[in-house]
Amino acid sequence: MDIRVENICKKFNDVSAVKNINFIAKKNKTLGILGPNGCGKTTTIGMMLGLITPTSGQIFIENKDIKKIDENEILCQMNFASPYIELPKKLTVRQNLEVYGRLYGVDNLSNRIIEISEELNLNAFLHKKTGELSSGQKNRISLAKSLINKPKILFLDEPTASLDPDIGDFVRNYIENYKSKNEITILLASHNMKEVERLCDSVIMMKEGQIVDRGTCDDIIQRHGRDNLEETFLKIARSKNEVA
Amino acid sequence: MRWHKIYGLSLRHIYLIRSSFPRILDLIYWPSVQVFLWGFISQFFTLNSNYYNNTVGVILTAAILYDFLFRSSISYNMMFLEEIWSRNFTNLFIAPIRISEIIAALTMTSIVKTLIGLIPAVLLAIPIFGVSIFKLGVPLIFLLIGLYLFGISLGLFVTSGLLRFGPSFENIAWASLFFLAPLGCIYYPIEILPGWLQVIAKGLPLVHIFEEMRNILINQTVNTVEIVLSLAISGVYFILGVITFYTAYYGAKIKGTLINIGE
Protein backbone atom coordinates (compact mmCIF):
# COMPACT_ATOMS: atom_id res chain seq x y z
CA MET A 1 0.00 0.00 0.00
CA ASP A 2 1.19 3.52 -0.85
CA ILE A 3 1.03 6.31 1.68
CA ARG A 4 1.01 9.87 0.37
CA VAL A 5 1.35 12.74 2.80
CA GLU A 6 0.43 16.14 1.37
CA ASN A 7 1.09 19.49 3.04
CA ILE A 8 0.61 18.14 6.53
CA CYS A 9 0.90 20.64 9.38
CA LYS A 10 0.39 20.11 13.08
CA LYS A 11 0.26 22.87 15.64
CA PHE A 12 -0.03 22.27 19.37
CA ASN A 13 -1.40 25.55 20.64
CA ASP A 14 1.00 28.01 18.99
CA VAL A 15 3.87 25.58 18.55
CA SER A 16 4.32 24.07 15.10
CA ALA A 17 5.41 20.46 15.53
CA VAL A 18 5.13 19.58 11.83
CA LYS A 19 5.38 22.23 9.13
CA ASN A 20 3.88 21.52 5.76
CA ILE A 21 5.58 18.25 4.93
CA ASN A 22 5.10 16.10 1.82
CA PHE A 23 6.34 12.61 1.12
CA ILE A 24 5.37 9.29 -0.37
CA ALA A 25 6.00 5.90 1.19
CA LYS A 26 5.98 3.58 -1.79
CA LYS A 27 4.28 0.22 -1.81
CA ASN A 28 6.47 -2.63 -0.54
CA LYS A 29 9.37 -0.29 0.24
CA THR A 30 10.87 0.81 3.53
CA LEU A 31 10.96 4.52 4.22
CA GLY A 32 13.16 5.78 7.03
CA ILE A 33 12.02 8.81 9.00
CA LEU A 34 15.08 10.34 10.56
CA GLY A 35 15.78 13.36 12.62
CA PRO A 36 16.87 14.55 16.04
CA ASN A 37 14.62 14.26 19.09
CA GLY A 38 11.66 16.61 18.90
CA CYS A 39 11.87 17.03 15.13
CA GLY A 40 8.29 15.81 14.56
CA LYS A 41 8.82 12.13 13.71
CA THR A 42 6.44 10.79 16.35
CA THR A 43 3.83 13.42 15.53
CA THR A 44 4.06 12.49 11.84
CA ILE A 45 3.67 8.79 12.61
CA GLY A 46 0.83 9.61 15.04
CA MET A 47 -1.02 11.45 12.27
CA MET A 48 -0.64 8.54 9.86
CA LEU A 49 -1.90 6.14 12.55
CA GLY A 50 -4.93 8.34 13.19
CA LEU A 51 -3.89 9.12 16.76
CA ILE A 52 -3.35 12.81 16.03
CA THR A 53 -5.57 15.02 13.90
CA PRO A 54 -3.51 17.17 11.52
CA THR A 55 -4.09 20.91 11.69
CA SER A 56 -4.09 20.96 7.89
CA GLY A 57 -3.13 18.77 4.95
CA GLN A 58 -4.12 15.34 3.77
CA ILE A 59 -2.96 11.77 4.09
CA PHE A 60 -3.79 9.34 1.33
CA ILE A 61 -3.55 5.57 1.57
CA GLU A 62 -3.87 3.85 -1.79
CA ASN A 63 -5.04 7.24 -3.11
CA LYS A 64 -7.89 7.41 -0.59
CA ASP A 65 -8.06 10.35 1.76
CA ILE A 66 -8.11 8.76 5.21
CA LYS A 67 -10.52 11.43 6.45
CA LYS A 68 -13.10 10.27 3.93
CA ILE A 69 -13.05 6.53 4.59
CA ASP A 70 -13.83 4.36 7.60
CA GLU A 71 -10.86 4.63 9.93
CA ASN A 72 -11.25 1.01 11.01
CA GLU A 73 -10.92 -0.20 7.43
CA ILE A 74 -7.44 1.33 7.30
CA LEU A 75 -6.39 0.39 10.81
CA CYS A 76 -7.03 -3.28 9.95
CA GLN A 77 -4.27 -2.99 7.36
CA MET A 78 -1.76 -1.25 9.63
CA ASN A 79 0.16 -1.92 12.80
CA PHE A 80 2.77 -0.29 14.96
CA ALA A 81 5.61 -1.38 17.22
CA SER A 82 7.57 0.81 19.56
CA PRO A 83 9.62 0.16 22.68
CA TYR A 84 7.87 3.16 24.24
CA ILE A 85 4.50 1.47 24.33
CA GLU A 86 3.91 -1.87 25.98
CA LEU A 87 1.48 -4.71 26.11
CA PRO A 88 -0.41 -5.47 29.34
CA LYS A 89 2.23 -6.81 31.72
CA LYS A 90 -0.03 -9.12 33.72
CA LEU A 91 -1.20 -11.04 30.67
CA THR A 92 0.81 -13.90 29.24
CA VAL A 93 2.40 -13.47 25.85
CA ARG A 94 -0.17 -15.79 24.32
CA GLN A 95 -3.07 -13.94 25.94
CA ASN A 96 -1.77 -10.63 24.60
CA LEU A 97 -1.42 -12.04 21.10
CA GLU A 98 -4.89 -13.54 21.36
CA VAL A 99 -6.47 -10.26 22.52
CA TYR A 100 -4.84 -8.26 19.73
CA GLY A 101 -5.52 -10.98 17.18
CA ARG A 102 -9.21 -10.71 18.05
CA LEU A 103 -9.16 -6.91 17.93
CA TYR A 104 -7.62 -7.08 14.46
CA GLY A 105 -10.09 -9.78 13.41
CA VAL A 106 -7.38 -12.29 12.48
CA ASP A 107 -8.66 -15.48 10.85
CA ASN A 108 -7.36 -18.80 12.20
CA LEU A 109 -5.88 -16.95 15.14
CA SER A 110 -4.46 -20.00 16.91
CA ASN A 111 -2.49 -20.94 13.80
CA ARG A 112 -1.30 -17.39 13.34
CA ILE A 113 -0.06 -17.27 16.95
CA ILE A 114 1.80 -20.56 16.47
CA GLU A 115 3.28 -19.30 13.20
CA ILE A 116 4.49 -15.95 14.53
CA SER A 117 5.75 -17.51 17.77
CA GLU A 118 7.90 -19.92 15.83
CA GLU A 119 9.22 -17.23 13.52
CA LEU A 120 10.19 -14.94 16.39
CA ASN A 121 11.29 -17.68 18.82
CA LEU A 122 8.60 -16.88 21.37
CA ASN A 123 7.61 -20.46 22.22
CA ALA A 124 9.79 -20.69 25.32
CA PHE A 125 7.95 -17.88 27.05
CA LEU A 126 4.55 -17.93 25.37
CA HIS A 127 2.85 -18.77 28.66
CA LYS A 128 4.87 -16.36 30.80
CA LYS A 129 3.55 -13.00 31.91
CA THR A 130 4.74 -10.26 29.59
CA GLY A 131 5.94 -8.07 32.47
CA GLU A 132 8.33 -10.81 33.65
CA LEU A 133 10.32 -10.85 30.42
CA SER A 134 13.58 -9.15 29.44
CA SER A 135 13.52 -6.07 27.22
CA GLY A 136 14.79 -8.15 24.28
CA GLN A 137 11.94 -10.63 24.71
CA LYS A 138 9.38 -7.83 25.12
CA ASN A 139 10.69 -6.24 21.97
CA ARG A 140 10.08 -9.43 19.98
CA ILE A 141 6.59 -9.74 21.47
CA SER A 142 5.86 -6.18 20.45
CA LEU A 143 7.02 -7.07 16.95
CA ALA A 144 4.83 -10.20 17.01
CA LYS A 145 1.83 -8.10 18.03
CA SER A 146 2.56 -5.65 15.23
CA LEU A 147 2.60 -8.47 12.67
CA ILE A 148 -0.29 -10.53 14.06
CA ASN A 149 -2.67 -9.10 11.43
CA LYS A 150 -0.15 -9.39 8.56
CA PRO A 151 -0.31 -5.63 8.04
CA LYS A 152 0.15 -4.02 4.66
CA ILE A 153 1.66 -0.98 6.37
CA LEU A 154 3.95 -1.31 9.37
CA PHE A 155 5.22 1.54 11.51
CA LEU A 156 8.34 0.76 13.46
CA ASP A 157 9.60 3.24 16.01
CA GLU A 158 13.14 2.42 17.17
CA PRO A 159 12.62 -1.33 16.70
CA THR A 160 16.01 -2.23 18.16
CA ALA A 161 16.41 0.44 20.84
CA SER A 162 17.98 -0.95 24.04
CA LEU A 163 18.62 -4.36 22.51
CA ASP A 164 21.96 -6.12 22.70
CA PRO A 165 23.77 -6.48 19.34
CA ASP A 166 22.78 -10.13 18.98
CA ILE A 167 19.04 -9.60 19.44
CA GLY A 168 19.21 -6.34 17.50
CA ASP A 169 20.69 -8.24 14.59
CA PHE A 170 18.04 -10.97 14.93
CA VAL A 171 15.28 -8.34 14.73
CA ARG A 172 16.83 -6.62 11.71
CA ASN A 173 17.26 -9.96 9.94
CA TYR A 174 13.68 -10.85 10.74
CA ILE A 175 12.34 -7.57 9.36
CA GLU A 176 14.41 -8.00 6.19
CA ASN A 177 13.19 -11.56 5.69
CA TYR A 178 9.61 -10.71 6.49
CA LYS A 179 9.65 -7.89 3.97
CA SER A 180 11.10 -10.10 1.26
CA LYS A 181 8.31 -12.64 1.72
CA ASN A 182 5.34 -10.33 2.25
CA GLU A 183 3.77 -7.33 0.58
CA ILE A 184 4.41 -4.68 3.17
CA THR A 185 5.26 -1.00 3.29
CA ILE A 186 7.40 -0.13 6.28
CA LEU A 187 7.91 3.28 7.84
CA LEU A 188 10.87 3.14 10.16
CA ALA A 189 11.88 5.78 12.67
CA SER A 190 15.28 5.09 14.11
CA HIS A 191 18.36 6.72 15.55
CA ASN A 192 20.50 3.77 14.58
CA MET A 193 21.95 4.91 11.26
CA LYS A 194 23.49 1.56 10.39
CA GLU A 195 20.08 0.00 10.82
CA VAL A 196 18.54 2.63 8.57
CA GLU A 197 21.22 2.08 5.89
CA ARG A 198 20.57 -1.64 6.04
CA LEU A 199 16.76 -1.64 6.08
CA CYS A 200 15.57 1.47 4.26
CA ASP A 201 15.07 1.94 0.52
CA SER A 202 14.84 5.68 1.02
CA VAL A 203 14.77 8.17 3.87
CA ILE A 204 13.41 11.55 4.79
CA MET A 205 15.43 13.71 7.16
CA MET A 206 13.38 15.89 9.48
CA LYS A 207 14.44 18.85 11.54
CA GLU A 208 12.28 21.26 13.51
CA GLY A 209 9.11 19.91 11.94
CA GLN A 210 10.30 20.11 8.35
CA ILE A 211 11.80 17.71 5.85
CA VAL A 212 15.30 18.99 5.20
CA ASP A 213 16.51 16.22 2.90
CA ARG A 214 15.27 13.08 1.21
CA GLY A 215 16.42 10.28 -1.07
CA THR A 216 18.25 7.00 -0.84
CA CYS A 217 20.87 6.71 1.90
CA ASP A 218 23.67 6.71 -0.69
CA ASP A 219 22.29 9.82 -2.42
CA ILE A 220 22.06 11.75 0.84
CA ILE A 221 25.51 10.68 2.01
CA GLN A 222 26.98 11.69 -1.33
CA ARG A 223 25.12 14.99 -1.44
CA HIS A 224 26.54 16.02 1.91
CA GLY A 225 30.03 14.73 1.15
CA ARG A 226 30.18 12.39 4.13
CA ASP A 227 31.30 8.78 4.51
CA ASN A 228 28.22 7.36 6.15
CA LEU A 229 24.69 8.18 7.25
CA GLU A 230 25.67 8.85 10.85
CA GLU A 231 28.04 11.64 9.84
CA THR A 232 25.45 12.96 7.42
CA PHE A 233 22.84 12.95 10.16
CA LEU A 234 25.17 14.94 12.44
CA LYS A 235 25.90 17.46 9.70
CA ILE A 236 22.21 18.01 8.98
CA ALA A 237 21.22 18.09 12.65
CA ARG A 238 23.83 20.75 13.40
CA SER A 239 23.32 22.89 10.32
CA LYS A 240 20.83 25.70 9.68
CA ASN A 241 17.52 24.62 8.15
CA GLU A 242 17.40 24.13 4.42
CA VAL A 243 14.09 22.70 3.32
CA ALA A 244 14.31 19.95 0.70
CA MET B 1 -21.08 -2.84 16.83
CA ARG B 2 -19.02 -5.94 16.26
CA TRP B 3 -19.37 -8.45 19.10
CA HIS B 4 -16.11 -10.27 18.38
CA LYS B 5 -14.18 -7.02 18.94
CA ILE B 6 -16.09 -6.30 22.13
CA TYR B 7 -15.35 -9.84 23.28
CA GLY B 8 -11.67 -9.41 22.35
CA LEU B 9 -11.31 -6.32 24.48
CA SER B 10 -13.35 -7.80 27.33
CA LEU B 11 -11.08 -10.84 27.23
CA ARG B 12 -8.11 -8.62 28.07
CA HIS B 13 -9.78 -7.66 31.37
CA ILE B 14 -11.14 -11.13 32.10
CA TYR B 15 -7.64 -12.58 31.70
CA LEU B 16 -6.37 -9.90 34.05
CA ILE B 17 -8.93 -10.77 36.74
CA ARG B 18 -8.41 -14.50 36.29
CA SER B 19 -4.64 -14.25 36.50
CA SER B 20 -4.46 -12.85 39.99
CA PHE B 21 -6.02 -14.19 43.18
CA PRO B 22 -5.25 -10.93 45.09
CA ARG B 23 -7.25 -9.06 42.44
CA ILE B 24 -10.27 -11.28 42.98
CA LEU B 25 -9.82 -10.98 46.74
CA ASP B 26 -9.67 -7.21 46.42
CA LEU B 27 -12.93 -7.21 44.47
CA ILE B 28 -14.67 -9.25 47.18
CA TYR B 29 -13.02 -7.70 50.23
CA TRP B 30 -14.36 -4.13 50.18
CA PRO B 31 -18.04 -4.89 49.56
CA SER B 32 -17.89 -7.50 52.33
CA VAL B 33 -16.31 -5.01 54.74
CA GLN B 34 -19.07 -2.55 53.84
CA VAL B 35 -21.71 -5.16 54.64
CA PHE B 36 -20.19 -5.85 58.06
CA LEU B 37 -19.77 -2.16 58.91
CA TRP B 38 -23.23 -1.08 57.81
CA GLY B 39 -24.77 -4.28 59.08
CA PHE B 40 -23.75 -3.46 62.64
CA ILE B 41 -24.72 0.21 62.25
CA SER B 42 -28.04 -0.96 60.82
CA GLN B 43 -28.63 -3.26 63.79
CA PHE B 44 -27.87 -0.43 66.21
CA PHE B 45 -30.30 1.97 64.48
CA THR B 46 -32.99 -0.69 64.24
CA LEU B 47 -32.88 -1.10 67.99
CA ASN B 48 -32.64 2.61 68.82
CA SER B 49 -34.59 4.55 66.19
CA ASN B 50 -38.31 4.94 65.75
CA TYR B 51 -37.87 5.70 62.07
CA TYR B 52 -36.20 2.37 61.37
CA ASN B 53 -38.16 0.48 64.03
CA ASN B 54 -39.88 -2.09 61.87
CA THR B 55 -37.63 -2.01 58.89
CA VAL B 56 -34.63 -4.14 59.57
CA GLY B 57 -32.00 -3.62 56.96
CA VAL B 58 -32.96 -0.30 55.35
CA ILE B 59 -29.51 1.09 55.96
CA LEU B 60 -27.76 -2.14 55.01
CA THR B 61 -29.78 -2.42 51.81
CA ALA B 62 -28.87 1.19 51.01
CA ALA B 63 -25.21 0.41 51.70
CA ILE B 64 -25.30 -2.59 49.38
CA LEU B 65 -27.01 -0.65 46.59
CA TYR B 66 -24.58 2.25 47.00
CA ASP B 67 -21.69 -0.18 46.86
CA PHE B 68 -23.11 -1.57 43.62
CA LEU B 69 -23.04 1.95 42.16
CA PHE B 70 -19.57 2.61 43.55
CA ARG B 71 -18.10 -0.65 42.27
CA SER B 72 -19.60 -0.33 38.79
CA SER B 73 -18.18 3.17 38.38
CA ILE B 74 -14.79 2.37 39.89
CA SER B 75 -14.52 -0.84 37.85
CA TYR B 76 -15.08 1.15 34.69
CA ASN B 77 -12.49 3.75 35.67
CA MET B 78 -10.00 1.13 36.80
CA MET B 79 -10.13 -0.76 33.52
CA PHE B 80 -9.38 2.43 31.67
CA LEU B 81 -6.60 3.32 34.09
CA GLU B 82 -5.14 -0.18 33.62
CA GLU B 83 -4.52 0.70 29.97
CA ILE B 84 -2.71 3.86 31.01
CA TRP B 85 -0.68 2.20 33.76
CA SER B 86 0.36 -0.66 31.48
CA ARG B 87 1.31 1.82 28.72
CA ASN B 88 -1.01 -0.07 26.41
CA PHE B 89 -3.05 2.98 25.48
CA THR B 90 -1.52 3.58 22.05
CA ASN B 91 -1.85 -0.09 21.09
CA LEU B 92 -5.52 0.05 21.96
CA PHE B 93 -6.29 3.22 20.04
CA ILE B 94 -4.48 2.14 16.87
CA ALA B 95 -6.39 -1.14 16.83
CA PRO B 96 -9.41 -1.27 14.51
CA ILE B 97 -11.94 -0.93 17.28
CA ARG B 98 -14.60 1.74 17.43
CA ILE B 99 -15.13 3.99 20.42
CA SER B 100 -18.62 2.56 20.85
CA GLU B 101 -17.06 -0.91 21.05
CA ILE B 102 -14.57 0.23 23.68
CA ILE B 103 -17.42 1.70 25.75
CA ALA B 104 -19.48 -1.48 25.31
CA ALA B 105 -16.57 -3.73 26.31
CA LEU B 106 -15.77 -1.69 29.41
CA THR B 107 -19.46 -1.50 30.36
CA MET B 108 -19.93 -5.25 30.06
CA THR B 109 -16.73 -6.16 31.83
CA SER B 110 -17.37 -3.80 34.69
CA ILE B 111 -20.66 -5.57 35.49
CA VAL B 112 -18.70 -8.82 35.77
CA LYS B 113 -16.20 -7.19 38.14
CA THR B 114 -18.99 -5.56 40.14
CA LEU B 115 -20.91 -8.79 40.56
CA ILE B 116 -17.81 -10.76 41.57
CA GLY B 117 -17.48 -8.37 44.48
CA LEU B 118 -21.10 -7.87 45.32
CA ILE B 119 -22.63 -11.33 45.18
CA PRO B 120 -20.63 -12.68 48.16
CA ALA B 121 -21.47 -9.51 50.13
CA VAL B 122 -25.18 -9.81 49.36
CA LEU B 123 -25.16 -13.47 50.34
CA LEU B 124 -23.22 -12.76 53.54
CA ALA B 125 -25.82 -10.22 54.66
CA ILE B 126 -28.60 -12.83 54.66
CA PRO B 127 -27.39 -15.23 57.37
CA ILE B 128 -25.35 -12.73 59.39
CA PHE B 129 -27.78 -9.80 59.58
CA GLY B 130 -30.99 -11.36 58.29
CA VAL B 131 -31.08 -8.76 55.53
CA SER B 132 -31.76 -9.60 51.92
CA ILE B 133 -31.85 -7.02 49.16
CA PHE B 134 -34.13 -9.44 47.33
CA LYS B 135 -36.93 -8.26 49.64
CA LEU B 136 -37.18 -5.33 47.25
CA GLY B 137 -38.73 -7.75 44.79
CA VAL B 138 -38.95 -7.14 41.05
CA PRO B 139 -38.28 -3.36 41.40
CA LEU B 140 -34.76 -4.30 42.55
CA ILE B 141 -33.89 -5.14 38.94
CA PHE B 142 -34.87 -1.66 37.78
CA LEU B 143 -33.15 0.05 40.71
CA LEU B 144 -29.96 -1.86 39.88
CA ILE B 145 -30.23 -0.95 36.19
CA GLY B 146 -30.63 2.73 37.14
CA LEU B 147 -27.64 2.57 39.49
CA TYR B 148 -25.54 0.74 36.94
CA LEU B 149 -26.33 3.20 34.16
CA PHE B 150 -25.46 6.10 36.45
CA GLY B 151 -22.27 4.38 37.66
CA ILE B 152 -21.14 3.85 34.07
CA SER B 153 -22.07 7.45 33.24
CA LEU B 154 -19.77 8.67 36.02
CA GLY B 155 -17.12 6.31 34.67
CA LEU B 156 -17.56 7.86 31.23
CA PHE B 157 -17.17 11.40 32.62
CA VAL B 158 -14.03 10.45 34.53
CA THR B 159 -12.45 8.54 31.64
CA SER B 160 -13.24 11.49 29.37
CA GLY B 161 -11.19 13.60 31.79
CA LEU B 162 -8.38 11.03 31.66
CA LEU B 163 -8.43 11.12 27.86
CA ARG B 164 -8.40 14.88 27.73
CA PHE B 165 -6.08 15.75 30.61
CA GLY B 166 -4.05 12.56 31.07
CA PRO B 167 -3.27 10.55 34.20
CA SER B 168 -3.22 13.67 36.38
CA PHE B 169 -7.01 13.40 36.26
CA GLU B 170 -6.74 10.09 38.12
CA ASN B 171 -7.53 11.57 41.55
CA ILE B 172 -10.88 12.77 40.24
CA ALA B 173 -11.64 9.13 39.43
CA TRP B 174 -11.51 8.30 43.10
CA ALA B 175 -13.21 11.43 44.32
CA SER B 176 -16.15 11.53 41.91
CA LEU B 177 -18.50 9.28 43.85
CA PHE B 178 -17.67 10.66 47.27
CA PHE B 179 -18.54 14.09 45.93
CA LEU B 180 -22.04 12.96 44.87
CA ALA B 181 -22.77 10.72 47.85
CA PRO B 182 -24.08 13.47 50.17
CA LEU B 183 -26.51 14.61 47.47
CA GLY B 184 -27.65 11.08 46.71
CA CYS B 185 -29.62 10.78 49.97
CA ILE B 186 -28.40 7.23 50.32
CA TYR B 187 -28.87 6.84 54.07
CA TYR B 188 -31.35 9.63 54.83
CA PRO B 189 -34.53 11.09 53.28
CA ILE B 190 -34.23 14.05 50.95
CA GLU B 191 -36.04 16.30 53.47
CA ILE B 192 -32.82 16.41 55.50
CA LEU B 193 -31.14 18.49 52.78
CA PRO B 194 -31.63 22.29 52.67
CA GLY B 195 -34.26 23.36 50.13
CA TRP B 196 -31.83 24.56 47.49
CA LEU B 197 -29.80 21.34 47.71
CA GLN B 198 -32.99 19.30 47.33
CA VAL B 199 -33.53 20.93 43.95
CA ILE B 200 -30.04 19.91 42.84
CA ALA B 201 -30.35 16.44 44.38
CA LYS B 202 -33.54 15.73 42.43
CA GLY B 203 -31.52 16.09 39.25
CA LEU B 204 -29.61 12.96 40.24
CA PRO B 205 -31.11 9.49 39.82
CA LEU B 206 -29.71 8.47 43.21
CA VAL B 207 -32.34 10.37 45.19
CA HIS B 208 -35.16 8.69 43.31
CA ILE B 209 -33.56 5.26 43.60
CA PHE B 210 -32.85 5.45 47.32
CA GLU B 211 -36.15 7.17 48.17
CA GLU B 212 -37.94 4.39 46.33
CA MET B 213 -35.88 1.74 48.08
CA ARG B 214 -36.97 3.20 51.45
CA ASN B 215 -40.54 3.49 50.22
CA ILE B 216 -40.64 -0.20 49.28
CA LEU B 217 -39.02 -1.38 52.52
CA ILE B 218 -40.84 0.94 54.92
CA ASN B 219 -44.27 1.48 53.32
CA GLN B 220 -44.41 -1.80 51.43
CA THR B 221 -45.59 0.02 48.30
CA VAL B 222 -44.05 0.51 44.88
CA ASN B 223 -44.04 3.92 43.22
CA THR B 224 -43.59 3.14 39.53
CA VAL B 225 -43.26 6.80 38.61
CA GLU B 226 -40.17 7.17 40.81
CA ILE B 227 -38.58 4.08 39.25
CA VAL B 228 -39.28 5.25 35.71
CA LEU B 229 -37.99 8.72 36.60
CA SER B 230 -34.76 7.27 38.03
CA LEU B 231 -34.22 5.20 34.89
CA ALA B 232 -34.92 8.18 32.65
CA ILE B 233 -32.51 10.45 34.54
CA SER B 234 -29.84 7.71 34.52
CA GLY B 235 -30.40 7.31 30.78
CA VAL B 236 -29.91 11.03 30.22
CA TYR B 237 -26.64 10.96 32.21
CA PHE B 238 -25.51 7.93 30.22
CA ILE B 239 -26.15 9.70 26.90
CA LEU B 240 -24.33 12.78 28.19
CA GLY B 241 -21.48 10.55 29.32
CA VAL B 242 -21.16 8.97 25.88
CA ILE B 243 -21.22 12.40 24.18
CA THR B 244 -18.59 13.69 26.61
CA PHE B 245 -16.40 10.65 25.95
CA TYR B 246 -16.57 11.13 22.18
CA THR B 247 -15.83 14.85 22.57
CA ALA B 248 -12.85 14.07 24.80
CA TYR B 249 -11.58 11.45 22.33
CA TYR B 250 -11.65 13.85 19.39
CA GLY B 251 -10.19 16.58 21.62
CA ALA B 252 -7.36 14.23 22.62
CA LYS B 253 -6.63 13.56 18.94
CA ILE B 254 -6.28 17.27 18.33
CA LYS B 255 -4.22 17.77 21.47
CA GLY B 256 -2.04 14.73 20.71
CA THR B 257 -2.48 13.11 24.13
CA LEU B 258 -3.41 9.67 22.77
CA ILE B 259 0.12 8.96 21.61
CA ASN B 260 1.99 9.69 24.79
CA ILE B 261 -0.50 9.14 27.58
CA GLY B 262 1.02 6.98 30.28
CA GLU B 263 2.51 6.97 33.70
Q: Measured between CB atoms, which of A75, A82, A85 is closest to B96? A: A75
User: Quick check: B86 contacting A, CB < 8 Å?
Assistant: yes
pLDDT at residue B166 in the model:
79
CATH of domain A1-77+151-244: 3.40.50.300
Domain ranges of chain B: 3-255
Q: Choose the mutation target among B4, B9, B13, B88 for the interface with A, i.e. most A CBs under 10 Å.
A: B88
Contact in structure between B173 and B162 (CB atoms under 8 Å): yes
**Cα→Cα distances B245→A2, A46, B158, B176, Å:** 33, 20, 9, 16
pLDDT at residue B56 in the model:
59
pLDDT tens across A88-136, in order?
Answer: 999 999 999 999 999 999 999 999 999 999 999 999 999 999 999 988 8
| Mutual angle of helices B99-129 and B58-85, in 10-degree steps | 140
Task: Write out chain A residues lying below 8 Å of B96, CB-based.
Answer: 71-73, 75-76, 103-105
pLDDT tens across A125-175, in order?
Answer: 999 999 999 888 898 999 999 999 999 999 999 888 878 888 889 999 999
Which H, E and C letters describe chain A, residue by residue? Answer: CCEEEEEEEEEECCEEEEEEEEEEECCCCEEEEECCCCCCHHHHHHHHCCCCCCCEEEEEECCEECCCCCHHHHHCCEEEECCCCCCCCCCEHHHHHHHHHHHCCCCCHHHHHHHHHHHCCCHHHCCCEHHHCCHHHHHHHHHHHHHCCCCCEEEEECCCCCCCHHHHHHHHHHHHHHHHHCCCEEEEECCCHHHHHHHCCEEEEEECCEEEEEECHHHHHHHCCCCCHHHHHHHHHHCCCCCC
* Residues near A157 by beta carbon (within 8 Å), at least 6 away in sequence: A41, A42, A45, A80, A81, A82, A83, A84, A189, A190
Q: CA-CA distance, B46 to B86, in Å (whole number)?
A: 47
Q: Is A83 left (phi over 0), alpha (psi -120 to 50) or beta?
A: alpha
Total-model pTM: 0.89
* Residues near A111 by beta carbon (within 8 Å), at least 6 away in sequence: none
Task: Write out chain A residues lying below 8 Å of B91, CB-based.
Answer: 80, 85, 87, 100, 145
Contact in structure between B189 and B203 (CB atoms under 8 Å): no
User: Quick check: B222 contacting A, CB < 8 Å?
Assistant: no
Decide if A52 and B253 are in contact by the 8 Å CB cutoff: yes
Residue of chain A whose Cα is closest to the Cα of B14: A91
> What count of CB pairs under 8 Å joins A to B?
106
Query: Among candidates B110, B135, B125, which has minimal Cα distance to B34?
Result: B125
User: Quick check: B96 contacting A, CB < 8 Å?
Assistant: yes
pLDDT at residue B171 in the model:
78
Decide if B4 and A105 are in contact by the 8 Å CB cutoff: yes
In this structure, the number of other CB atoms found within 10 A of the CB of residue A216 comes to 14
Determine the distance in angstroms separating the CA of A228 from the nearest CA of chain B, rounded to an integer. Answer: 32
Task: Write out chain B residues lying below 8 Å of A101, CB-based.
Answer: 8
pLDDT at residue B173 in the model:
67
Domain ranges of chain A: 1-77+151-244, 85-150
Decide if A91 and B93 are in contact by the 8 Å CB cutoff: no
ipTM of the complex: 0.88
In three-state secondary structure terms, B257 is coil
Q: CA-CA distance, A162 to B38, in Å (whole number)?
A: 53
Determine the distance in angstroms separating the CA of A49 from the nearest CA of chain B, rounded to an integer. Answer: 6
pLDDT at residue B263 in the model:
44
Q: Can you list the residues of chain B whose pLDDT is less than 50?
A: 263
Determine the distance in angstroms separating the CA of B106 from the nearest CA of chain A, rounded to an integer. Answer: 14
Asked if the model's pLDDT at residue A42 lies above 60, the reply is yes
Determine the distance in angstroms separating the CA of A240 from the nearest CA of chain B, rounded to an integer. Answer: 28
Q: CA-CA distance, B162 to B92, in Å (whole number)?
A: 15
Mean pLDDT of all residues in chain A?
91
What letter would DSSP give residue B19? Answer: T
Amino acid letter for position B224: T
Task: Write out chain A residues lying below 8 Å of B93, CB-based.
Answer: 51
Determine the distance in angstroms separating the CA of A238 from the nearest CA of chain B, rounded to an integer. Answer: 27
Q: CA-CA distance, B154 to B201, in Å (whole number)?
A: 16
pLDDT at residue B262 in the model:
53
Q: CA-CA distance, B95 to B6, in Å (whole number)?
A: 12
User: Quick check: B87 contacting A, CB < 8 Å?
Assistant: yes
**DSSP-derived secondary structure for B50-79:** STTTT-TTHHHHHHHHHHHHHHHHHHHHHH
pLDDT tens across A180-218, in order?
Answer: 999 999 999 988 899 999 999 999 999 999 999 999 999
Decide if A52 and B96 are in contact by the 8 Å CB cutoff: no
**Cα→Cα distances B105→A9, A36, A87, A217, B10, Å:** 34, 39, 18, 46, 5
Decide if B15 and A43 are in contact by the 8 Å CB cutoff: no
For chain A, what is the largest distance between any 2 Cα atoms, rounded to a whole number of angstroms?
53
Decide if A49 and B94 are in contact by the 8 Å CB cutoff: yes
Amino acid letter for position B251: G
Q: CA-CA distance, A177 to A18, in Å (whole number)?
A: 33
In this structure, the number of other CB atoms found within 10 A of the CB of residue B145 comes to 16
pLDDT at residue B55 in the model:
59
Task: Write out chain A residues lying below 8 Å of B97, CB-based.
Answer: 72, 103
Q: CA-CA distance, A38 to A237, in Å (whole number)?
A: 12
In this structure, the number of other CB atoms found within 10 A of the CB of residue B240 comes to 13
User: Quick check: B134 contacting A, CB < 8 Å?
Assistant: no
pLDDT tens across A57-97, in order?
Answer: 999 998 889 888 888 889 999 999 988 888 999 999 999 99
Q: CA-CA distance, A85 to B259, in Å (whole number)?
A: 9
